[in-house]
């Protein structure tokens, strides 16, 4: 036992030493009057920001640098941004992607957020998120948007940035940073972030033995800890303890004091959905799953025994089929969250009132329908074949996108029900009625294809919000779907940004004509050979005003490859 503890303590010192600043960084390489300096470790995909005066780590974060050798190594001084960067949103024309809070390291090398397909936090690029923490960019350093904002707001032009390859990947530290970045402004030291504590009786990094093993098993039963049951207080345990501390309202130290352990071993300890639940498991997390399945009428409420038996497996399988998941009977964290979300929305819809339930089987699809016997309110889960043929996506696809955009969030209550007007090819406008009947006053007309927020759904009519007013539309001409709070209007931000984006230069795709005006009657002045680079002065949807060797003219946008300075490495 003493040997194991000695090895664990040596591992702690290794972790601390690998996180410490390299000697000489930026002291000789960058201006001393800058408040911070930055180190990017390509080998570990970690960015560390130091305070220059004290050498103290003020922020540390995971990143994605460039694939191959596209991110250069060396020490650079952050350049002036020409009033183009350090903004909440910035559009990259070449890749048709938004990024948040870009700041220039040098030339085309930037810090910026993960890319987004739209100007919305819910549209983070799925592939970029999946690859986060590994080389994935074209050279720039991708960060969580909060970390990109910190650099944008605090690391001024003139800040030294040292990009190195340490030669080793610090997996223990990466585990911590995968969950969250270190930020000294939260009031905790870097040692606390690593999970170290000298408080009497506390279990912390380096602790080993039965008490740690008991802690790990309890955290697993609460749906929090998904690591191996080793009895060693490692990074996975530190992360799980922090989650539990947040849930019980304790400071997020990562160390398990005796008082904290009493809270999580209590009968009313909160649960999470971070651990896959399978047959034979038990505990509070299983009971929470049973309760949600009972609300959905997929499980007998009388069998809430906290045991994942055949009945639970069958209920989970029924939900998986409705939602479009692969039917396995195993409740992954995502499946648990989807079940919890639908149960929560069902409770909200009927607010304690009784409701009837039926399953509508439609070919290979199943839809759950809940109806109020008092006023006809309806809540549905799943799609019909008609919905799918009309373009509706599986509920699992919509839900996965939301979770991807909020990978650190546990609150999924922000999803909203929407409806899109679908007159089945007739291109008609619908009357928005003041009451749910065809004889009530018409408040407005709604065009075919318009998307609206659903306030309440009934058997034949749906109450929607449109143009600042609330009224009713017939369900027969609506296609229902679920999305985040800012899901509509969709596509407008990208189109507007595409038309108005600032472009530095362009190259001719082939032989491009140059004209004296931006109209169909324009006179041809000459041609640009393929590959000719020109400066772009103005741009609209169809034309670019260009300058080449001191001469100006207009070229069709479709004949040019538009490029911004940062595009080559984003």
Q: At which residue do the structure tokens 């045991």 appear? A: 307
393: domain CATH number is 2.30.30.40
Return d(Cα 429, Cα 444) in angstroms, integer: 10
Residues forming beta bridges with residue 473, ordered by sequence position: 462
Query: What three-state secondary structure class fits 21?
Result: coil
Distance CA 214, CA 231 (A): 8
Q: Report if residue 556 sits inside a domain.
A: yes
Q: Distance between CA atoms of 331 and 314, rounded to whole angstroms?
A: 11
* pLDDT score for 567: 40
- Do both 45 and 186 map to the same domain? yes
Are 134 and 66 within one domain?
yes
Which residues pair with residue 256 across a beta bridge? 203
Burial class (CB in 10 A: 0-12, 13-18, 19+), 159: buried
Residues 126 and 75 in one domain: yes
188/204 Cα distance (integer angstroms): 15
The verdict on 412 and 461 lying in the same domain is: yes
Residue 296 lies in a domain: no
Residue 324 lies in a domain: no
Mean pLDDT per block of 10 residues along the chain (570 residues) reads 46 47 40 86 97 94 95 94 81 81 91 87 81 94 94 94 93 88 88 86 91 95 90 91 88 90 93 91 94 94 89 95 94 93 89 91 86 90 80 82 54 60 75 86 82 78 80 84 57 41 71 86 87 80 81 87 53
pLDDT digits 0-9 by tens, 231-287: 999 988 998 998 898 888 888 888 999 999 999 999 999 998 989 999 999 999 999
β-pairing verdict for 109-113 and 141-143 = parallel
- DSSP code string of 487-505: --S-SHHHHHHHHH----E
Asked if the structure places residue 448 within a domain, the reply is yes
What pLDDT does residue 568 have?
38
Domain ends where: 213, 231, 264?
A: 264
For the whole prediction, is pTM greater than 0.85? Answer: no
CA 253 to chain centroid, in Å, comes to: 25
Q: How many CB atoms lie within 10 A of CB 425?
A: 7
CB–CB of 271/282 below 8 Å? no
95 & 212 share domain: no
The answer to whether residues 389 and 533 belong to one domain is no
- Both 114 and 8 in one domain: the answer is yes
Last residue of a domain, one of 264, 280, 311: 264
Phi-psi map region of 449: left, alpha, beta (phi>0 left; psi -120 to 50 alpha): left
**Same structural domain for residues 132 and 36?**
yes
Q: Which of 220, 237, 264 is the last residue of a domain?
A: 264
Identify whether 251 is part of a domain.
yes
For residue 401, is it within any domain?
Answer: yes
| DSSP per-residue codes, 347-359 | HHHHTT---EEEE
Q: In this structure, what CATH number is given to the domain that contains residue 260?
A: 1.10.101.10
As for how many domains the chain has, the answer is: 4
Residues 102 and 171 both lie in one domain: yes
Q: Are strands 430-433 and 442-446 parallel, antiparallel or unpaired?
A: antiparallel
Complete DSSP assignment for 161-189: EEEE--SS--HHHHHHHHH--EEGGGS--
Do 15 and 87 lie in a common domain? yes
For residue 199, the enclosing domain spans 195-264
CA 80 to chain centre: 30
Same domain, 81 and 183: yes
Could you tell me which residues come within 8 angstroms of residue 411 by beta carbon, excluding any fewer than 6 positions away? none
Q: Count Cβ atoms within 10 A of the Cβ of residue 379 and give its class: 0-12 exposed, 13-18 middle, 19 or more buried.
A: buried
Would 340 be classed as within a structural domain?
A: no
pLDDT, residue 188, reads: 81
Token code pair at residue 507: 């190259």
In a domain, 281, yes or no: no
- Shared domain check, 76 and 181: yes
């Amino acid at each position: 036992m003493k040997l194991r503890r000695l090895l664990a303590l040596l591992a702690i010192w290794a972790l601390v030493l690998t996180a410490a600043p390299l000697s000489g960084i930026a002291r000789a390489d960058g201006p001393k009057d800058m408040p911070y300096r930055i180190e990017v470790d390509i080998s570990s995909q970690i960015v560390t920001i130091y305070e220059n005066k004290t050498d103290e780590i003020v922020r540390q974060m995971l990143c994605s640098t460039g694939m191959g050798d596209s991110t250069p190594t060396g020490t650079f001084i952050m350049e002036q941004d020409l009033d183009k960067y350090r903004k909440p949103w910035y559009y990259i024309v070449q890749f048709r992607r938004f990024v948040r809070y870009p700041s220039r390291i040098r030339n085309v090398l930037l810090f910026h957020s993960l890319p987004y397909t739209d100007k919305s936090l819910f549209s983070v690029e799925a592939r970029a998120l999946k690859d986060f923490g590994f080389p994935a960019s074209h050279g720039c350093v991708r960060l969580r948007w909060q970390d990109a904002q910190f650099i944008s707001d605090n690391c001024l032009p003139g800040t030294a940035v040292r990009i190195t390859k340490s030669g080793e990947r610090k997996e223990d530290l990466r585990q911590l940073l995968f969950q969250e970045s270190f930020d000294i402004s939260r009031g905790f030291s870097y040692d606390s972030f690593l999970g170290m504590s000298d408080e009497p009786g506390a279990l912390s990094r380096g602790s080993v033995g039965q008490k740690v093993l008991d802690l790990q098993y309890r955290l697993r039963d609460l749906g929090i800890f998904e690591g191996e049951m080793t009895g060693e207080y490692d990074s996975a345990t530190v992360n799980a303890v922090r989650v539990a501390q947040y849930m019980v309202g304790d400071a997020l130290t990562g160390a398990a004091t005796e008082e904290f352990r009493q809270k999580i071993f209590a009968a009313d300890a909160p649960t999470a959905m971070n651990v896959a639940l399978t047959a034979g498991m038990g505990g509070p997390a299983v009971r929470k799953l049973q309760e949600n399945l009972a609300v959905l009428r997929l499980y007998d409420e009388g069998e809430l025994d906290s045991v994942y038996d055949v009945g639970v497996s069958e209920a989970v399988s029924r939900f998986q089929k409705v939602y479009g998941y692969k039917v396995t009977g195993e409740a992954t964290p995502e499946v648990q969250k989807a079940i919890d979300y639908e149960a929560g929305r069902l409770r909200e819809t009927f607010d304690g009132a009784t409701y009837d339930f039926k399953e509508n089987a439609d070919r290979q699809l199943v839809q759950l329908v809940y109806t109020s016997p008092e006023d006809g309110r309806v809540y549905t889960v799943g799609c019909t074949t008609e919905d799918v043929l009309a373009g509706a996506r599986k509920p699992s696809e919509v839900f996965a996108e939301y979770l991807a955009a909020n990978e650190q969030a546990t609150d999924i209550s922000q999803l909203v029900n929407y409806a899109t007007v679908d007159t089945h090819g007739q291109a008609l406008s619908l009357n928005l009625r003041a009451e749910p009947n065809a004889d009530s006053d018409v408040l407005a007309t709604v065009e075919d294809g318009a998307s609206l927020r659903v306030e309440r759904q009934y058997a034949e009519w749906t109450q929607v919000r449109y143009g600042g007013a609330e009224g009713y539309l017939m369900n027969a001409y609506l296609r229902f779907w679920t999305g985040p709070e800012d899901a509509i209007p969709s596509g407008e931000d990208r189109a507007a940004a595409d038309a108005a984006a600032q472009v530095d230069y362009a190259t001719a795709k082939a032989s491009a004509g140059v004209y004296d005006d931006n109209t169909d009657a324009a006179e041809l002045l000459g041609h640009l050979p393929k590959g000719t680079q020109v400066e772009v002065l103005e741009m609209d949807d169809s034309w670019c005003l260009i300058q080449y060797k001191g001469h100006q003219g207009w070229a069709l946008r479709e004949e040019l490859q538009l490029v911004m300075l940062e595009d080559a490495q984003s």
